[in-house]
Structure formats: C-alpha cells, structure tokens
Chains A and B, each alone.
Chain A
C-alpha cells in the first residue's frame, strides 16, 4: 500500500522496475584458489571483480609449526546485486567446507550509492533496464 502511494506521488508507471541495491562481496581465499572463486562468482551475475594480493595474520601457531600455514592470500572484491548476495554466500560456504585447500572467508558490505546509470546497469547486470533505454 505504501509502495502504491509512493509511486503515485512520484508518478512512476506501474511497471517501473524497482532498482535493486548492490553489495560489495569480499572473499578472502588462498592464492592458488583465487581464479577458481572468481570464475565461480561470475555465475551469480557478477560483472566486475577486482582481486589483489594480501597476507593473512591469523595466529595459528600450531599450523605454522607444522609448516601447513599458507598466509599468502588473495582478496576478491565483487560487486553483486542484492538478491544474488545470499545465494552466492551460501554457495561459497559450501565450497569453503568441501574444497581441499579452498577454505576462506566471505562477507558483504552494503553500498549506499552508485554514480551513473550505465555503471549501475553494468554492475547489477540489469539487461532489461539497459534494453528499455534503447
């Protein structure tokens, strides 16, 4: 009901597409698994990903002693549409648990604003919106 009133006030057509918000998905994984996770995340309609080298600092003295510690990490920043964030996190969680040497952390940070319509369409993979514009 609220939505309807809001639409009338703003004179938006009934079928206007309500834009979905974006989130920044941050995934931290071992260096050799970064490519795999980037490919994997692309299946969640992610169009832009950035990766960078990083170093983990968790104190796992036992692991260190046993020489098992892999502190060279890759951080992957992916811009993901809100509705895809939860499925992506769940799928990542499963991969973290099952993949050998594929453990990692992933979390999302909400974005408050994006500048530029074309950029938004690109980041949210909103093909319909882009088509209507043409």
Chain B
C-alpha cells in the first residue's frame, strides 16, 4: 500500500516537546499536537539499562507527507533520542486519508498537476 502521509509519534520527557517541534520544523513539518502522558517502564529494565525513567512524558503527533518522514525521524533521533536528556522514542504510522489541512502539500500539488 502506498500512503501519502505518515503520522510521526514522538514520546519525550516532560518539557521537551518544543525541542521535538524545533527539530521537526527544520525538516519541513508545519505543526504538531502535544499531549501529556505517563510512562510505565519496569524497574528491572531501568536498573539493567542504567537509565532513570522520568514518568511524566509528552507525546507529540506530527502529520507529514511521507517524503519528509525519514528526515524528521532522523532529526528526532539526533536531537531528542534516548541518549539525550529528552530520552525520546519516535515512530511513524501510515495514514490513509486526511481532511482539514490548510496548506496544499507537495503530494496534492503533484496530483493536481497530473490531472
């Protein structure tokens, strides 16, 4: 299946959502939505990996055309990845259809040109 958009989900420590958006905007994302969440890692895993899990998290959802996805995921990994104070993880989900975006995106413009 070929999807035009991807939803990037990035879960970071409390207070790092601005850093996430800064990194994502650098690679073409226009906006995101931030939700508060609580992490639940096991204590054994925390001891084993020698990291302290800060349970308060922020979850950022960013909707992007799929061409931008790889760059943004890399940028997130570099700026708020697990080895940084943000201790973030990021992943993306395919999005079948979107409504309500205000700016026509590259994908749509291309489709219009073709017709």
Contacts and interface: CB of A to CB of B under 8 A. Distances in A.
A85 to B, nearest CB: 7
Which of B25, B95, B99 has its CB near the most chain A CB atoms (within 10 A)?
A: B99
Interface residues of A, number: 28
Chain B residues touching A, range: 20 to 34
For chain A, what secondary structure do more than half of its interface residues adopt (helix, strand, loop), or is it mixed? strand
Given A26-B7, A53-B36, A75-B61, A109 B96 contact: yes
A112 to B, nearest CB: 10
B98 A110 contact: no
Contacts of B5: 107
- Chain B interface secondary structure, helix, strand, loop or mixed? strand
Contacts of B30: 58-59
B105 interface: no
Given A55-B35, A56-B32, A110-B96, 9 more contacts: A28-B61, A57-B21, A58-B31, A75-B35, A93-B100, A105-B99, A107-B97, A109-B94, A109-B95
Interface string A60-76: 00000000000001010
B101 interface: yes
B17 A103 contact: no
